[in-house]
Amino acid sequence: MTRGAVIFLLGVILFLFGGYITLDWFQFITGIANFARPELPYVRATKVAVSFLSAILVFIIGRDGFDRKDTIRLILVYAAIAIGDIFLVFDINMVGMLVFAVAHVFFIIRNGWGLRAYLTAKSGINRFWDIVTAFIILAIAGGIMGGFFLPVMGGGLMFYMLLGYSVFLGVSLWMAWAAVRIGYMPKGNAWLAAIGLSCFFVSDLLVGVHFATQPGRDQTFAIYLTWIFYTPGLVLPALSGYRLSRITG
């Protein structure tokens, strides 16, 4: 039953994804996009629907999860994401950002489960990749914050909100990649979480570009590009909570 429901939900998500990506980029490429309101009402509604459908993917895991406590932790993540998206729909952006920071705290706890045992184990190669991953994330996030957001936003309140949020976002991404090495999650699940959080990371940086820029071509480009990454950023971590053999046949 759950396998059928998962396949159905993924089919609906894929259909909606194809629809809003096509409509967004058709408007952009043909030059008919309204830069003041770049998202058509139908498109905006389907994007929000995908966010909630991804949450439903998590809420129906039930006994098909690889670990009952992991399922509970993932439910907390997606409950926070759903609430955060509601605030963003109504342009209550600062509150929405705070709620998404909470979602990343839950992501960090969930993906980092087993971290203590991992850190006490002796594995030089793992330490090397932990450091490399942290350096890459810090270089990307720090470079964008200092090289783009600070000059554009001039150090205002929204800049410092984005800066604080980027800390949660960066740690969340690092922990997702550490999960591949920690070994608490099955390998396939850990890879889904890592790739999904990487997409989430890119989409959130693009949301920051949206906040930092004025209505126009650049902001519209960032808005349209966000959902190319945000959709897999929602779906892949949701699927990482399943016992994958239950949904792949």
- DSSP for 108-152, please give it: HHHHTTTHHHHHHS--HHHHHHHHHHHHHHHHHHHHHIIIIIHHH
Q: Could you tell me the residue ranges of all domains in the chain?
A: 2-248
Alpha carbon 199 to its chain's center: 6
> Reduced to 3 states, what is the DSSP secondary structure of residue 34?
coil
Cα separation, 107 vs 112, in Å, equals 8
pTM: 0.95
Residue pointed to by tokens 């519209």:
220
Cα separation, 219 vs 197, in Å, equals 23
**Residue whose C-alpha is closest to residue 78's, from 224, 163, 210, 193:** 193
Each residue's pLDDT expressed in tens, for the chain with a length of 249 residues:
578 999 999 999 999 999 999 999 999 999 999 999 999 999 999 999 999 999 999 999 999 999 999 999 999 999 999 999 999 989 899 999 999 999 999 999 999 998 888 888 766 777 888 999 999 999 999 999 999 999 999 888 899 999 999 999 999 999 999 999 998 999 999 999 999 999 999 999 999 999 999 999 999 999 999 999 999 999 999 999 999 987 776
Q: Please answer whether residues 53 and 234 qualify as being in contact, where contact means their C-beta atoms are separated by less than 8 angstroms.
A: no
Cα separation, 168 vs 105, in Å, equals 7
CA count, 13 A, side-chain hemisphere, 13: 25
What H or E segment, with its residue span, contains residue 27? helix 2-30
